[in-house]
Amino acid sequence: PEDRAAFAHSMSQLASQLTLILPPPTRLDTVGGYVEWRSFGGLAIVFAVWALASASGAARGDEERGLVESVLAASLPRFAWVASRVAGFAAASFVAALASGLGLVAGAASGGESVGLRAPLEVAVGLAALALSCYSLTLLIAQLASARIATAAAGAVLLILFLVNTLSRTFTWLASWRWLSPFHYYELNHPLASARLDVPATLTLLGIAVLAAAAAAVLFESRDLGSPFLRSPSRHHAVSYELSRSRAVSYTHLTLPTILR
């Protein structure tokens, strides 16, 4: 117990310097608390980046390659296409998160510790819910922006939401905006440290994912393939057949027939 307490004290000092990246730790004197802070705190960033890359590729990358046109030509509704993408990523993210939890069980068993199966299952649910919410938000932003800036725009939004949550630990005036960030609801879960899954926070993450995915499907139904939902109005000019007054254009019109001859 004395060694565990000394280790927890030293790790707490390290954690105070990493609040911009990792959440505050809980019960660092236990295996579950240490792994929840050191591993699953960082996995939240990894899964968010994975969701960003996967959703932007599904929303815009497949359109650029012509895959969406082929799927829609096979009489698959647009809403069903969005639902299949979201469901596929939800299953993949849960399997990946569960594999991380089972790795914790195996590692603890090899070190002479015991970790139940319920806590890794609950932490997998929370991590998958965070990844799914980031995926749906990226999918929604990709419908609004063009293919060139969709990934950058979605990445900027997720980064802002992440910083709003982390910087609120230092700047108290940001605490009133922390409820906007899905990372805040993920950090409310402590199934490994205190055997407590925050059900309302997890349901909030799933609600964000469902609402964002539904909004993305509605926007996808309303826009043309290859074009964003928000487009700047084009400037219309009256058609004129008069010769341009520009000397460069006039010179081109005069010399081009000569060059062709």
Whole-number pLDDT of residue 239: 64
Whole-number pLDDT of residue 243: 66
- Residue 52 and residue 151 in contact, taking contact as beta carbons nearer than 8 Å: yes
Instruction: Tell me how long the chain is.
Output: 261
* Residue 20: alpha-carbon gap to chain centroid: 18
Whole-number pLDDT of residue 221: 87
Q: What is the mean pLDDT of the chain?
A: 84
Whole-number pLDDT of residue 238: 63
Whole-number pLDDT of residue 256: 47
Residues 192-210 pLDDT 10s: 887 778 899 999 999 999 9
- Residue 105 and residue 22 in contact, taking contact as beta carbons nearer than 8 Å: no
- The parts of the chain modelled with pLDDT lower than 70 are 230-241, 243-261
Q: What is the DSSP string of 181-250?
A: -HHHHHHT-BTTTSSB--HHHHHHHHHHHHHHHHHHHHHHHHS-TTS-SS-PPPPP-----SPP--HHHH
Residues 12-69 pLDDT 10s: 888 788 878 888 888 888 888 888 888 888 899 999 999 999 999 888 887 877 788 7
Whole-number pLDDT of residue 98: 92
- The pTM of the full predicted model, rounded to 2 decimals, is 0.82
**CA atoms within 13 A of residue 186's CA, in its CB half-sphere:** 32
